[in-house]
Chain A
Amino acid sequence: MISLAKNELYRLFLSPLAWIILALSQLILAYLFLTHIDYFIQIQAKISAIPGAPGVTELIAIPLLNNAATLLLLIAPLVTMRLIAEERRNESLPLLLSAPLSTHQIVLGKYLGTFGFFLVLLLMISLMPLSLSLGSQLDFGLLASGLLGLALLLASFSAIGLYLSSLTKQPTIAAMTTFASLFLLWIIDWAGNTQITAESSNLFSWLSLLRHYQSLLQGQVNSSDIAYYLIVISTFLILTIRRLDTERLN
């Protein structure tokens, strides 16, 4: 399982895709990071007089993580699309299926490999706000909670992407369906905001990936939010395992 994850990560880095994603996302986020800093410097003089005003972490790091989540929503499907769909297209899946591995080892191996890549990305993103600690005082608790939120979000993206990649032979279809599902789960709480039907909107806003991320970005580590992400991750992993198992039957 671990060797499968390593292999997945290694093969990802052999393709230019991984490097381009790392470089471009870093570039875009660095630009956003600078605009946030710029804004902070502009208003610094005004807010320094107010007691209990938001600090560097709230005004730079958290908006950056928020931007990063949106950017990764666009990027994640590109990383997860190839996971199983491409193996199927290259007909290399029998290699794994005829090896003495169980389906859940195959699925978890691939999942961990992809998540490993996202952790690298996360680490690089977190370097930017961390660099502020050289000249300023950071709220590490808040930052940690935000990073935890982004990590959980990425873990959910990977699980959903993995499942949708297991459904098809065409990586592009996997990418499109993943993007559509992630986007839907992202904006589903917009229905929740209209407050027309209270009950269904509660459900919709609970389903939203974004809603749970927001509370983590505010520094609230609620077990219900973490449970939500864990439920999403395990649901889609189990669906993937089932999908590969039934493929042998049909």
Chain B
Amino acid sequence: MSSVLLSAKELSRSYGQEKAVENISFEIKRGEVLGFLGPNGAGKSTTMKMLSGNLSPNHGEIIINGYDLLSQPKQAKAHIGYLPEQPPLYKELTVKEFLSFCAKINQIPSSKQKAAVDTAIERCGLADVTQRLIGHLSKGYQQRVGIAQAIIHTPAVVILDEPTSGLDPIQIREIRHLIRDIATEHSVILSTHILPEVEMLCDRVQIINKGQLILSDTIKGFGQQMQTSHLLVELTYPPAINVLEGIAGVITVETVTDTLFRLHYIPENNPINEIVSRAASEQWQLTQLTPQQHSLEDVFMKIIRDESHPAEQETL
């Protein structure tokens, strides 16, 4: 079943003159993990705050499980769990006390509160620290308490704002593991500026930059986009450029130096074989042949830069 659990339409939000988020629309379906990717200050947190009802959009609407967040906030909020960048914890309470309080304010019927707390403790691996004060826990455990707080009322959508920021590598791994576990039962919206995290955890990715959604794709499509490949070819006696362009599969040829060329090609039609054989038969003296693949970072930077270039030109 692929019902839409959360849909945001034309969300805009500005702080004074500055536009933080502009005209963002997207949807999340049941069981999906959606990654929000963008550099710091791109508007990720603002979007997350709007989705969780902490901030009203200047324009646009948010529908959560059929309820409009703006006109029926109570019903809508019952279906979301939110973990802000800074986990909202009462540090003077013990883990158990805190989660019991969360169960109460999330309107869980009193007969089910204890079970809900126990489940959240178990799922987030907090069983050893239930009687410890939250303020005395490590950052990783505090983050887990934050996640436990977000899933305690089994919401349809869990919104996590940079859940792994400020943790050490082991904690990051554990939190990612936990998120993947949560994703089996809830839809998750995850914001991050770390690319591998998106690749590891998400089904779908949206890149946001300067408040605008500039890419929305499945993680698979995102991966393919990354593989628009090119070859670096060095020939001591190169033929004319149009000869290289004539090789089947090659789209464009870029001259790097007199003897070094960058060939862009269609991934399905790899020209390596033909280049090698023709270089041998026509004595181009092939000295280098390096397939180049974009790393995630490259693509990310490329997408963001492509988007921001036109804007820069306007201002010039």
Binds A, one of B80-88, B254-262, B272-280: B80-88
Interchain CB contact under 8 A, A92 and B104? no
Residues of B within 8 A of A223 (CB): none
- Neighbouring A residues of B78 by C-beta, 8 Å: 100
Of chain A, the residue at the smallest CB distance from B77 is A100
| Whole-angstrom CA separation of A249 from B91 in the bound complex | 28
User: In the complex, how many angstroms separate the beta carbon of A166 from the nearest chain B beta carbon?
Assistant: 15
* A94-B54, A98-B52 known; A3-B101 Cβ under 8 A: yes
Among B52, B90, B107, max chain A CB count under 10 A is at B90
Interface: B143 (CB within 8 A): no
Residues of A contacting B: mostly: helix
Q: Is B12 an interface residue (CB 8 A)?
A: no
**Chain B residue nearest in CB terms to A103:** B73
Q: Is A199 an interface residue (CB 8 A)?
A: no
**B-facing residues in A217-250 (Cβ within 8 Å):** 248-249
> Inside 8 A of A248's CB, which chain B residues have their CB?
53-56
The answer to whether A94 and B92 touch (CB under 8 A), given A3-B104, A100-B74, A102-B73, is no
Among A92, A97, A101, A249, find the residue whose CB has the most chain B CB atoms closer than 10 A.
Answer: A97
Interface segment out of the listed A7-15, A29-37, A59-67, A175-183: A7-15
In the bound complex, residues from chain B placing their C-beta under 8 Å from that of A14 are 92-93
Determine whether B316 belongs to the interface, using a CB cutoff of 8 Å to chain A: no
A249, B90: Cα distance in complex, Å: 25
**How far is A102 from B49 in the complex, measured between Cα atoms in Å?**
17
Q: Are B101 and A98 in contact (CB under 8 A)?
A: no
Q: Are A249 and B93 in contact (CB under 8 A)?
A: no
Interface string of A95-115 (1 = CB under 8 A from B): 111111110000000000000
Whether A96 pairs with B105 at a CB distance below 8 angstroms is yes
Q: How far is the CB of B86 from chain A (nearest CB, A)?
A: 4
B165 within 8 A of A: no
Asked whether B54 lies within 8 Å of A100 as measured between CB atoms, the reply is no
Q: Does A42 contact B (CB under 8 A)?
A: no
Q: Once the chains are docked, how many angstroms separate the CA of A96 from the CA of B54?
A: 9
Number of interface residues of A (CB under 8 A): 22
Interface residues on B, range: 20 to 34
Say yes or no for A148: interface residue by CB 8 A criterion.
no
Closest partner residue, chain A, to B146 (CB atom): A95
Chain B residues 72-121 with CB under 8 Å of chain A are 73-75, 77-78, 80-82, 84, 86, 88-93, 97, 101-102, 104-107
CB distance from A163 to the nearest CB of B (A): 21
Provide the residues of chain A in CB contact with B81, threshold 8 Å: 98
Other-chain contact of A94, B84, B104, B106, B107 (Cβ < 8 Å)? B84
Check if A7 sits within 8 Å of B101, measured CB to CB: yes
Give chain A nearest CB distance to B257 CB in angstroms.
54
The A79-104 residues at the B interface (CB cut-off 8 A) are 90-102
A95 and B88: CB pair below 8 A? yes
Instruction: Decide if B74 touches A101 in the complex (CB within 8 Å).
Output: yes
- For B97, the chain A residues whose CB sits under 8 A away are 10
Known: A95-B102, A98-B77, A101-B74. A90 touches B91 (CB 8 A): yes
Chain B positions within 8 Å of A100 at CB level: 73-75, 77-78, 105-107
Q: Is the CB of A93 within 8 A of B88?
A: yes
Say yes or no: is A75 at the interface (Cβ < 8 Å to chain B).
Answer: no
The answer to whether B191 has its CB under 8 Å from any CB of chain A is no
Q: A91–B49 Cα gap in the complex (Å)?
A: 13
Among residues of B, the one whose C-beta sits closest to the C-beta of A7 is B101
A101: B residues at CB distance < 8 A: 74, 77, 105
Given A3-B105, A92-B89, decide whether A102 and B74 contact each other with a Cβ distance below 8 A. yes
Closest to A102 in B: B74
B149 at interface, CB cutoff 8 A:
yes
Across the two chains, which residue of chain B brings its CB closest to A95?
B88
Q: Do the beta carbons of A97 and B104 come within 8 Å of each other?
A: no
Contact in complex: A98, B56 (CB < 8 Å) = no
Query: Nearest-CB distance from B112 to chain A (Å)?
Result: 14
* A11 shortest CB reach to chain B, Å: 6
**A99 near B92 (CB under 8 angstroms)?**
no
Q: Chain A residues near B82: list those with CB within 8 A.
A: 94, 98
Complex: chain A residue closest to B84, CB-CB: A94
Instruction: Give the residue of A4, A10, A15, A91 whose beta carbon is less than 8 angstroms from that of B105.
Output: A4
Decide yes or no: A98 and B102 within 8 Å by CB, A15-B92, A92-B88 being known contacts: no
The list of the 5 closest CB pairs from A to B, nearest first, reads A95-B88, A3-B104, A92-B88, A98-B82, A91-B86
Beyond contacts A14-B92, A95-B89, A98-B82: 5 other A-B pairs, Cβ-Cβ < 8 A, are A10-B97, A95-B105, A97-B53, A100-B105, A101-B77
